Structure 1
Amino acid sequence: MTERDYPALLRQFDLFDPAHEEWKYDAFAYAREHCPIVRTEAGTGFWLITRYEDMRRILEDWETFSSVQGSPAPTPVRLGPLDADPPMHTGLRKLLNPVFSRTFALRYSDEMRRNCRDIIDGWIDDGRVDVINQYAGPFVSRTLARMVFDEDDPEKMARAIEVVDRVTEEGTPESFFDLAMLSAEYLAAAQDHPPERDGVLRALVTGEIDGRPVPEDEALGSLNVIFLGGLDTTKSAIGHIAMQLALNPELESRVRDPRWVRQDMDEFIRLQSPVATFARNVTRDVRVGGVEMKAGDRVLIRFDSANRDDAKFPDGSCLRFDPPRGGNAGFGLGIHRCIGAHLGRVQIAIAFEELLARVTRLELDCAPEDIVWKPGIANCPESIPVRFKKVSS
């Protein structure tokens, strides 16, 4: 097999194989042009969905492409609402949407800013920082701990981060079981929370769907998803944007402009989709993009490939801010769009406002090709080391 034998590479593509991170974008680009829906026999076997329009069609037809048991890796736990279809999915989203609204997130904005400043204080005099592990990671975990879990114990959140990392990178039944145990502990503790402590946990333990309490497995599944999404995707987005600023110094002025959050943020998110992929199950024979799929087949939706589809986003493998281009699937798309997207956007905006108040002239502290991206469901680098100059007081 030659280096450019993309058909052969695609037939063995495994989202959990670290080596495949090195060539996946080139292979997806080949697929979009020559074989946009291609079969891989890795794992349980999937149809890879690489083009935007095919992705959209599948995501808008939940009856034909079910999310039930939609995890790309077999899992012994629920991941609702991510792996639920209507009406259960509808009920869970209705219950959780209020505590993941932009308004709810902004209640904690002052605390988020204090956390950013405290974290920056720890390395501001060093002139360099690993944006992922010394800034984005601690900031996101502190926000999640306080806002979602009302948790002040850093050791407990460190354990949560370790469990989430294993789930997203390995996808083993053992890692999912550990995640379920973690979620169960928090839900059990929430039973004794006083009524004035509103938020996610209270919504899950006291809320109702169609007049009945939330089923225990669905409550656990919802918390599993919040752990996974909350700790990984926003951290990745912050890290990637920082990397782009380090590689393209002219972008700093754009991100310093408060208006960047309206449209520029979406372009950063489009290019390096925090949510890389998720699966669907085919419920009946169907034809998509000229490919015959059978009931029981599984499809692997590559949000990160669809977001670089030139047919939807011209010159899709590059950042292009003008004119603005919407509709990206960086946080998913359709009824299963990431429930924490509003929170994530608030966190990203605050993270860069506080960062750029203290530092300027970011430069990558390694060769770009030395950045290692983790395999799995999210697109997240292991580290992003940068150098910087302190902003003059």
Structure 2
Amino acid sequence: MTECVHTVGLLPTVREPGCPFDPPKELRQARAHGPISRYPFPGGHEGWLITGYDLVRSVLADSRFSSRKELMRHPLIDLGDMKIPPAPPGEFLLMDEPEHGRYRKLLTGKFTVRRMQLLTERVEQVTTEHLDAMEKAGPPVDLVIAFAKPIPTIMICDLLGVPYETRDSFQEHVDAIVSGVSEQDQLAGYVATQQYIAQLVAAKRANPTDDVLSDLTGTDLTDEELMGVGLLLLAAGLDTTANMLALGTFALLSNPAQWATLRARPEIADLAVEELLRYLSVAKTFQRTALEDVELGGQTIKAGTTVILSYNTANRDPERFDDPDTLDIQRQAVGHLAFGHGIHVCLGQQLARIEMRVALPALVKRFPTLRLDVAAEDVDLRPETADIFGVKSLPVTWNACP
């Protein structure tokens, strides 16, 4: 008797009203049917959706599954005969070995736990400056603009060596990419950011300073490769952390007992950050394509087949985490997949952790009466189609001192 395998329609593009932190219902239902479901891509490609923790983790560690961009398929759009191009030079997240390893090896030593911990004092300084500015301005504020976005922006600018006098225009270009109101705005922002980083690479070659980009000019990377690496570090280090800070604050404010616990016990910031990473999983999905026939979860994944890996359902898998849909910042959320797994695990994960471990407890301590300035259901969320989930804005207020 042939086993009946669940089939998921087009990936859901909305979350249920009143449940902004939970994966869309259709994904949760798919996982309830089992860790692997059929996924018919637009255009007719028969792919798979992986929603269970163990299977997602196994695919990420399996070299028989490729990360190459040109082997992927768009999960929502029928591209017809249009071919997806290979990843540009330097964007090694979408490459396999040995190309991936060549780039990553040059960067690994610059993102060690010890080196990132040395940046803690700088993160504390930047956090304090923005909390001071919030307090001086008084309520209400948009926490995205006042707090969540500037902290990782400044840190990634420090790492890349972006001059202070050009950071505002640099930020405008990046904003257009991640939150442009149209594809035209996003494309314009991407082109402008490319041009800026190209100029920055040229400047670092001429006059190296104490930053990662300058260090890389001493390697065999071409200018085009340096620009690609710079864009990748920017994308990985800015938008993800900014949304974790904003959405994480939203989640804590929506769970007053958890907010109170972090306020009373700032020493558990490490646990709180890992739990928020698990619970929110802002980088929701990634793809891999089978290079050969692979047996997975009782199914045969044919060579050339693309699988979608659902991080947010994997991190809510009840077979891996007890009571997974509950936010519990005292939980030992060890082994979550928010940063991925395997050779492509997030290179900047330690910096993201430090930023969150410093910023969130400091926010709670400075503004213990912080609360939403709009109804929770009126918080403007990013669409589910965005690469990184989060909030567009987070209006908050607090009891200011007279």
Q: Give the TM-score normalised by structure 2.
A: 0.82
1:219 paired residue number: 226
Say which is worse superposed, 166-175 or 103-112, in terms of deviation.
166-175
What residue is the counterpart of 2:246 in the other structure? 239
**What are the Cα deviations for residues 94-128 of structure 1, in whole angstroms up to 9, with x where unaligned?**
22122223333344434333332332333325333
The 1:246/1:173 distance shift into structure 2, 3 A limit, reads closer
Cα distance in structure 1, aligned partners of 2:286 and 2:294: 19
Find the partner of 1:373 among 356, 377, 382. 382
Compared with structure 1, are the counterparts of its residues 309 and 327 closer, same or farther at alpha carbon in structure 2 (3 Å cutoff)? same
| Structure 2 residue aligned with 1:60 | 61
Aligned CA distance change for structure 1 residues 278 and 291 (closer, same or farther; 3 Å): same
Which AA in structure 2 matches 1:241?
G
- Paired position in structure 2 for 1:11: 9
Q: Does 1:184 align with 2:198?
A: yes
Specify the SS of the correspondent of 1:339: coil
CA contact (8 A) 1:164 1:228 kept: no
Cα shift at 1:43: 7.8
**How far 1:391 moved relative to its partner?**
7.7
Alignment of 1:185-334 (within 5 A): 185-194=199-208, 197-207=209-219, 213-214=220-221, 217-256=224-263, 257-334=265-342
Greater Cα offset, 297-306 or 214-223: 214-223
Does the CA-based 8 Å contact 1:72-1:300 persist in structure 2?
no
1:166 Cα deviation from its structure 2 partner: 5.5
Q: Residue 113 in 1 paired to residue 124 in 2?
A: yes
Contact 1:132 1:239 in 2 (8 A): yes
Query: Per-residue CA shift, 1:71-106, capped at 9, x if unaligned?
Result: 775466436331122233223222212222333334
Equivalent residue, structure 2, for 1:385: 395
What amino acid is aligned across from residue 305 of structure 2 in structure 1?
Answer: D
Tell me the distance in 1 between the aligned counterparts of 2:44 and 2:113: 38
- Cα separation, partners in 2 of 1:168 and 1:121, compared to 1, 3 Å: same
Structure 1 residues 354 and 193: alpha-carbon distance in aligned structure 2, compared to 1, 3 A threshold: farther
Aligned residues: 374
Q: Once the two structures are aligned, what percentage of the paired residues are identical?
A: 25
1:33-57 residue CA offsets vs partner (Å, 9 max, x unmatched): 1153230424895522211111011
Question: Deviation at 1:368?
Answer: 2.4
Answer whether contact 1:49 1:299 (CA < 8 A) is retained: yes
Counterpart in 2 of 1:4?
Answer: none
What SS is found at the alignment partner of 2:368?
A: strand
Once residues 142 and 319 of structure 2 are traced to their aligned partners in structure 1, the CA distance between those partners, rounded to angstroms, is 36
Q: Is the 8 Å Cα contact of residues 279 and 315 (structure 2) preserved in structure 1?
A: yes
2:139 corresponds in structure 1 to: 127
Q: Structure 1, residues 181-229: CA drift from partner, whole Å, max 9, x if none?
A: 44333322221233xx33320232212xxxxx13555433322211111
- Assess if the C-alpha contact under 8 Å between 1:113 and 1:350 holds in 2: yes
Deviates further, 279-288 or 65-74 = 65-74
Please tell me whether residue 148 in structure 1 is matched to residue 163 in structure 2: no
Does the CA-based 8 Å contact 2:278-2:333 persist in structure 1? no
Q: Secondary structure at the residue paired with 2:274?
A: helix
**Change in CA separation of 1:80 and 1:391 when aligned onto 2, cut-off 3 Å:** farther
Structure 1 residue runs of 5 or longer lacking an equivalent are 1-6, 208-212
User: Equivalent residue for 1:27?
Assistant: 26
SS at match of 1:38: strand
Aligned CA-pair RMSD: 3.1
Gaps of 5+ in 2: 1-5, 75-83
| Contact 2:268–2:330 (CA under 8 A) maintained in structure 1 | no
Deviation at 1:174, TM superposition (A): 7.1
SS of structure 1 residue aligned to 2:97:
coil
Q: Give 2:149's aligned residue.
A: 137
Partner of 1:3: none
